[in-house]
Amino acid sequence: MKSIQAYRFALDLTPSQERSVLAHAGAARKAHNWALARVKAVMDQRTAERSYGVDDELLTPRMGWSLPALRKVWNAEKEVVAPWWRQVSKEAFNTGLDALARGLKNWSDSRNGKRVGRKCGFPRFKSRHRCTPSIRFTTGTIRVEPDRMHVVLPRLGRLKLHESARKLARRLEAGTARIMSATVRRDGGRWFVAFTVEIEREIPAARPESVVGVDVGIKHLAVLSTGELVPNPRHFDAARSRLRALGRALSRKQGSDRRTRQKPSNRWKRASGRLAKAHARVANLRRDGLHQLTTRLARDHTAIVVEDLSVAGMLKNRRLARHIADAGFGEIRRQLAYKTEWNGGWLLVADRWYPSSKTCSACGAVKTKLTLRERTYKCTLCGLVLDRDLNAARNLAALTAELITAGSGPVAGRGAIQKTSPARQEAVKRQPGTAPAGQTGTVRPKGRTAA
């Protein structure tokens, strides 16, 4: 079974190497801004000509928004626009043009209704002070050195890693992985290289069916139907006092001012770097904890069911928005989606309107109303007294167990993978009686429809 996976490693760059990487990032920004200005000029010209009553056949010719079209225009003008283009890799310019092509496509699809979700705005010009330096290499020499502590990238040469790349090197040496691209990016004051790798994974063997319901929350990060309570570390709250102190220290320094063209002082830059590192540490701690949780769930259980939460709507609650964002509800579901497929399991998503918290896990009675402050579920029919989140997790697990027992499997819904890969189909044929692994679906309760 082939899958796409990313390997991310920290870099230890020398000052000259960092200047070279920044030069490549500046070239990408130059190509992006020039092409965007060209696109806007053509659009404005066509709009002005229409206002003058010019026929559509006589309008200024359209400019293609695809990556090949933008690259063709750039190659024709790069000698005039960037006479220094030979000093950097061609992948730097391709990075900026690709970002613009994707941004224009997302904006167009969002306006035409082809793209679901929040509306996308028109691409904006990138600033050297505000955008994150990033370069993506898709061609040329991209490899991991035999010592596993260095990587080689086009035009950048041999770069030292801060940590060993043995996990990726082992797969490359065994022939079960192929590097597709490499992206160098600065995050939190440090440089990282991320390899996009196509990996040949072994088809997971049949495992005993184990169903678990996961109810995420703020008091506990996750409550499992098995009774396990996963504590919420609240990394942002723990670092809040330090972040506040660093923010106050930054506010006392002389920063930039776009109106007066005032440049930031060196003390402001150092203070800004300290604040960025503190935020990066919180993000890394949160990411590490979520990876440990989702990996353990995907390995220990065959079927996992979660709720389809409206995280964007929950963030509108001004009292709970900070805690919800710190928990990372959406990241938990995203990681479970691909990790269950890697481990040969299921991820089922209960419908957003399924009353998991209002339903009694013992008798099935549904309450008409259940306020958020009621943390203990008390059934008026059977007398069950249980923690609210544990009751919801048991309802989710029971819902999944009923479908697996009936043999219906997951139902395709929002964000579902409706097709099974050929390799997975062969695995199911060789192992009769096992669940069709690797599928993601939406479980809808009977008698209810989504609004």
Active site residues: 215, 307, 389
Q: How many C-beta atoms surround the C-beta of residue 391 within 10 A?
A: 26
Do the bridges between strand 346-350 and strand 303-307 make them parallel or antiparallel, or are there none, so unpaired? parallel
Instruction: Please tell me what DSSP assigns to residue 261.
Output: T
Q: Could you give the CA distance from residue 422 to residue 416 in angstroms, rounded to a whole number?
A: 17
Specify whether the CB–CB gap between 215 and 356 falls below 8 A.
Answer: yes
Q: Could you give the CA distance from residue 23 to residue 279 in angstroms, rounded to a whole number?
A: 26
DSSP string covering 166-194: HHHHHHHHHTSEEEEEEEEEEETTEEEEE
Q: Could you give the CA distance from residue 100 to residue 133 in angstroms, rounded to a whole number?
A: 15
Do the bridges between strand 2-12 and strand 157-161 make them parallel or antiparallel, or are there none, so unpaired? antiparallel
Which residue blocks in 52-89 are alpha helix, DSSP H? 67-81
Query: What is the distance, to the nearest Å, from the Cα of residue 6 to the centroid of all Cα atoms in its chain?
Result: 12
Written in H, E and C, the secondary structure of 128-169 is CCCCCCEEEECCCCCEECCCCCEEEECCCEEEEECCCCHHHH
Instruction: Count Cβ atoms within 10 A of the Cβ of residue 295 and give its class: 0-12 exposed, 13-18 middle, 19 or more buried.
Output: middle
* Bridge partners (DSSP) listed for residue 213: 305
User: Residue 318 in 3-state DSSP?
Assistant: coil
Match 């490899």 to its residue by tokens.
143
Q: Could you give the CA distance from residue 267 to residue 257 in angstroms, rounded to a whole number?
A: 15
Q: Could you give the CA distance from residue 310 to residue 422 in angstroms, rounded to a whole number?
A: 33
Q: How many C-beta atoms surround the C-beta of residue 351 within 10 A?
A: 20
How many residues can be counted in the chain?
451
* H-run or E-run covering 351: none
Q: Which two tokens stand for residue 105?
A: 């496509």
Q: Could you give the CA distance from residue 111 to residue 105 in angstroms, rounded to a whole number?
A: 10
